[in-house]
Structure 1
Amino acid sequence: MSVFPGITHVAVTVSDLKRSTPWYAALFGSDPVLDEDTDGGFHHTVFALDGGQLFGLHQHESAPAGSFDERRSGLDHVSFACTDRDELEGWVKRLDDLGYRHGGIVDAHYGSGLSFRDPDNVALEFFAPPAA
């Protein structure tokens, strides 16, 4: 094994699929490719993204109370790759058009990011590498 494999999918736990599914569908500009209950006491919805990646939403019957907090052990945030800062500016407009709050583009020496949160407060980001 000479190359570490890429990520095929990410799944986040949400408190209300009926609220989160349309929110993510609007963000992704597509409908889910899978929506099913499982025998394990949870329901999942999956979106197909470009590059063969999948993004899943899980709702567990026995989920503990409380919203997402990146300061707890576990997930900090999910970041979506952009080619450059111009693409980030397009996402600012898209988020604004959707009425999704965000923190604006933040530039650093290692790249530029645009942070926002889903209805359960899960931290999401669009990220572009620094200009060459």
Structure 2
Amino acid sequence: MTNPILSGIHHVKIPVSDLTRSVQWYGQVFGFAVTTEFPEADGTVLGVAGTVPGLGDTQLALRVNRDAAQGCVGFDPVSFAVDDLADVHAWAAHLDTLGVAHSPVIEATVGWLLVFDDPDGISLHLYSWAGHGVDHSDRPGYGRAVTTA
């Protein structure tokens, strides 16, 4: 029996503690534009979804969940893709313009990586599709290929 095939990622949902602050931040950093809101029975909106340039049909969703946001502090639930090293540097310059603290450009397992936190302290990664060609498989915390029998 073969497994059914997926057709992509529908949306990425990130927990937040303050929806207004996060919508503004994700808008400034990524160009996030809200297209859908999710009101509770009393009319209070505790979640939104929308588009981000470059994500195609995949939407970004932000949902108020203070416990989940606190539990994700320092964790990186998603890595957004960029093409190459020049794009990583362009994003670093963009974040500098916005005053968003970030890591230096990192020579990661395969490509280049930039790490920064959203307003709740959730780590976000920008990772290049282009590889640097350096084998870091002997370094702790870096990936190595797995072969199957």
TM value normalised by structure 2: 0.72
1:7 corresponds to which letter in structure 2? I
Runs of 4+ in 1 over 6 A off after TM superposition: none
Aligned equivalent of 1:29 = 31
Query: How far 1:65 sits from its partner (Å)?
Result: 8.4
User: In the alignment, is the contact (CA less than 8 A) between 1:47 and 1:54 conserved in 2?
Assistant: yes
User: In the alignment, is the contact (CA less than 8 A) between 1:102 and 1:117 conserved in 2?
Assistant: yes
1:28 and 1:66 map into 2 onto residues whose CA distance is: 19
Aligned equivalent of 2:145 = none
Query: Does residue 1:55 correspond to 2:64, yes or no?
Result: no
User: In the alignment, is the contact (CA less than 8 A) between 1:35 and 1:44 conserved in 2?
Assistant: yes
User: In the alignment, is the contact (CA less than 8 A) between 1:112 and 1:127 conserved in 2?
Assistant: yes
| Range moving further from structure 2, 24-33 or 80-89 | 24-33
Query: How far 1:42 sits from its partner (Å)?
Result: 6.5
TM value normalised by structure 1: 0.81
Query: Does residue 1:101 correspond to 2:106, yes or no?
Result: no
Could you list the runs of 5+ residues in structure 2 that have no partner in the other structure? 134-149
When Rg is computed on C-alpha atoms for both structures, the one with the higher figure is 2
User: In the alignment, is the contact (CA less than 8 A) between 1:116 and 1:124 conserved in 2?
Assistant: yes
Q: Secondary structure of 2:121's partner?
A: coil
1:59 and 1:66 map into 2 onto residues whose CA distance is: 8
1:66 and 1:112 map into 2 onto residues whose CA distance is: 26
**Which structure 2 residues correspond to residues 121-132 of structure 1 after superposition, within 5 A?**
121-129=121-129, 130-131=131-132
Aligned equivalent of 1:18 = 20
| Range moving further from structure 2, 29-38 or 86-95 | 29-38
**Which structure 2 residues correspond to residues 114-125 of structure 1 after superposition, within 5 A?**
114-125=114-125
Q: Percent identity?
A: 29
2:63 and 2:69 map into 1 onto residues whose CA distance is: 15
Query: How far 1:116 sits from its partner (Å)?
Result: 0.5
